């Protein structure tokens, strides 16, 4: 996933149904002698609205919790879409604008408190490691860098087949990937993680080798490819970004239907368009184990 130099200003056209990070706060500076417990948090996506519905489908949202031994304060940190999932997955087709218009950004949110009931009831709240105040402060610096340079949310993982060793053409970039990066950073700083099983959700498309089509200018610009531009717009036309969860899943079924009929999926990744020659089983939602990290060799000499 490409890193960018800065986060672009959001277009006023992009409106969120729910405010992003409403109670967010700055990450505090911890005292170096503090001992901070680190918790793995996981619960079904959209649980606040739909209860455990998506828990049965194993579509989970991940976060990380911290507890300071010195102050007794708890904190939650997570990474999610600024304009909800539909906007990160599908573009808007705006009248008078030829190119599909993407309202797509994801970012970290840090706030005081851990909603114990939310994570425990249908999900997970488990201690994974303890770190020093210094390690926490270094992690906070890294979060700032990660947040300023990794700005686009990516719903799909694209790989060649369901086989474990299969080629991954494109990797997703969503809430769980941020948590995995955070854990890895802590491990590299010297954190030692407990030996517990940790599973994460992936939404996978299966495709032969992707075909590069170009960027917005080369396809939709004045010298663009009119036929290709029309095909991409047509592909995205049934999907609406501003929608309820139910509509999102109805659209997902529509996509699968189109994709299976035509074996094609127009894919937008790092500001470029690709054609995916889709193949069976086309799309799968999996919930699989990703082990907690082991630090790099030098971290044990800290």
Strands 199-207 and 156-159, by their bridges, are parallel
Which residues are 37's β-sheet partners?
Answer: 67, 130
Q: Which two tokens stand for residue 197?
A: 């099983």
Name the nearest CA neighbour of 208 among 271, 272, 270, 259.
Answer: 259
Query: Length of the chain in residues, anyone?
Result: 302
The yes-or-no answer on residue 175 being catalytic is: yes
The yes-or-no answer on residue 88 being catalytic is: no
- Which residues in 158-174 are b (16+ Cβ under 10 Å) and which e? bbbeeeeeeeebbebbb
Catalytic residue among 1, 61, 109, 118: 61
For residue 111, give the 3-state DSSP assignment.
strand
For residue 60, give the 3-state DSSP assignment.
strand
Catalytic residue among 1, 109, 175, 242: 175
Q: Phi and psi at residue 80, in whole multiples of 5°?
A: -155, 180
Residues forming the active site? 61, 175
């Amino acid at each position: 996933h490409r890193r960018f130099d800065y986060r672009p200003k959001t277009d006023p056209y992009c409106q969120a149904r729910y405010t992003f990070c409403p109670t967010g706060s700055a990450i505090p500076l911890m005292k170096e002698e503090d001992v901070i417990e680190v918790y793995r948090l996981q619960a079904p996506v959209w649980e606040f609205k739909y209860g455990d519905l998506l828990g049965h489908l194993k579509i989970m949202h991940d976060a990380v919790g911290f507890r300071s031994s010195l102050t007794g304060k708890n904190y939650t940190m997570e990474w999610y879409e600024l304009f909800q999932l539909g906007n990160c997955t599908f573009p808007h087709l705006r009248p008078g604008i030829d190119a599909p218009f993407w309202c797509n950004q994801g970012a970290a949110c840090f706030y005081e408190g851990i909603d114990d009931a939310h994570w425990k009831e249908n999900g997970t709240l488990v201690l994974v490691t303890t770190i020093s105040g210094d390690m926490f402060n270094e992690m906070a610096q890294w979060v700032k860098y990660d947040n300023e340079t990794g700005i686009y949310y990516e719903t799909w993982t694209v790989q060649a087949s369901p086989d474990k060793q299969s080629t991954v053409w494109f990797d997703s970039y969503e809430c769980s990937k941020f948590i995995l990066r955070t854990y890895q950073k802590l491990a590299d700083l010297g954190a030692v993680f407990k030996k517990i099983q940790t599973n994460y959700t992936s939404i996978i498309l299966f495709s032969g080798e992707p075909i590069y089509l170009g960027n917005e200018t080369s396809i939709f610009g004045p010298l663009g490819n009119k036929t290709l531009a029309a095909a991409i717009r047509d592909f995205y036309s049934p999907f609406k970004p501003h929608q309820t969860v139910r509509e999102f899943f109805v659209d997902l079924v529509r996509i699968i239907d189109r994709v299976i009929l035509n074996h094609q999926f127009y894919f937008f990744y790092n500001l470029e368009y690709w054609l995916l020659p889709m193949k069976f089983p086309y799309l799968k939602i999996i919930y699989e184990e990703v082990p907690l990290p082991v630090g790099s060799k030098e971290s044990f000499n800290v």
